[in-house]
Structure 1
Amino acid sequence: MKDKLKGLILGLLIGTLITGGAVFAASSTKIEVIYENLRYMVDGVEKEPSVDQGFIYNGTTYIPLRFAGEALGKDVSWDGSTKTVWIGKKGEFKYLSSVEYARSDLNGTAFHFNEWNEVGLIPYEYTGNFSITENKYLHGIGLENLAIYSNEGSGSIEYNLNSKYVKLTGYLGIDDHFKNSSNTNKVIIYGDGKVLYESPDMMGGDLPVYFDVNLTGVKRLKIEISTTGEDYKSNNLLVIAEPKLFQ
């Protein structure tokens, strides 16, 4: 079949895809694509889409998402209210940052929810998204270590879960805004007083650390964060990014 060039109006999603979350902007752009008579082989068996053939744009092959998911045995659905594509089982979850906490304890630190709000020293305060190694996140909890008080700040935050959730997932890391700090950070997660997870020591520039913690039967969740080091001149910003509580 002879290649055909066609102009299309497509809603392009432009941005960086983050596991568990994404920051993007939508716009309407006219592009030219190459339609090919593509063959789709799944585990050695040829599959054929019922509608809509794939196309090539800027050297990348695009195929219908619904066809790809269903060819792999996954249900695909669209939630227009949240602009979310679901592939496979829908996980019922809440962002931890949207759940009311039971209490917090702070030692030369401050918590921020879903974004930083005037962190750092005057007149260089920063307000904006959480960011770890250039990955931006829309949801999360940030702990600001206030250099004016101590270079070894700490903080904890607790939640009453009442055995409603089975796991907590997310990413940990140092925010890019203070990535040059030489201080290290650690996170420990407790369930009913028992240690469920302990992170490695983290410094600015380290890639996000993924965690997946079993919360089955846990009534009280506690997240403890600490900063250690000798850098008295800089704040330190630790991010718990995209923390999801699954039921």
Structure 2
Amino acid sequence: MSGRLQNTTFFPPVETALADPNGLLAMGGDLSVERLLDAYRHGIFPWFNPGEPILWWSPDPRMVLVPGEIRVTRSLAKRIRNGGFEVRADTAFVDVMRACAAPRARARGTWISPAMVAAYNHLHQAGYAHSVETWHDNVLVGGLYGVAIGRMFYGESMFSREPDTSKVALVRLAHQLQRWDFGLIDCQMETAHLASLGARTLPRAAFSARLAELVNLSNRPGPWCFDASD
């Protein structure tokens, strides 16, 4: 790790990130819109517990999902068809973040602090951060949020209040991003859950090379509005 950031300093090269813990690159700095956009453009994201310094990460390998490769099982497809869900974008961003921050079974606390909610809401207001929401009978029951730069989407967190409702949001997002010619959804860290949906790992060097192409394509600023049919 290359050390502590000051509010005016740039990030060190991602190749200098630690192997243990995997991807820890730097600490300090701030959560300004400018800092966050610079981080995401280089494949770096903040992840830290409340009360800790801001920690910045670039893990190797990187879990990614190509939008056209999302895997939809028969049971999930049936749930999407028959569940009575409506999927919306960018209509309840702060509500989605707060739902993602809520305590979960077998989890101790949350890294999505009020400061993080405020910082990403500023990104949302600037047109870069987005929520995808699953609604049932006009009640928010699942969803996710993330950041989009160019034709790259960085997934941050998901939540479900009913079975599969975060998956419903992710499938809808992936299909829409494919239509919009997005190249990757960044899933950050490897999990069996994401692998079951079609995500796979890329070496950091390959991820960075693809990222450099995608972030320099034209932006699709928010608020987003998804196509009427899926």
What is the TM-score of this pair, normalised by structure 1? 0.29
Higher helix fraction: Structure 1 or Structure 2? 2
The structure with the largest alpha-carbon Rg is 1
TM-score, normalization: structure 2?
0.30
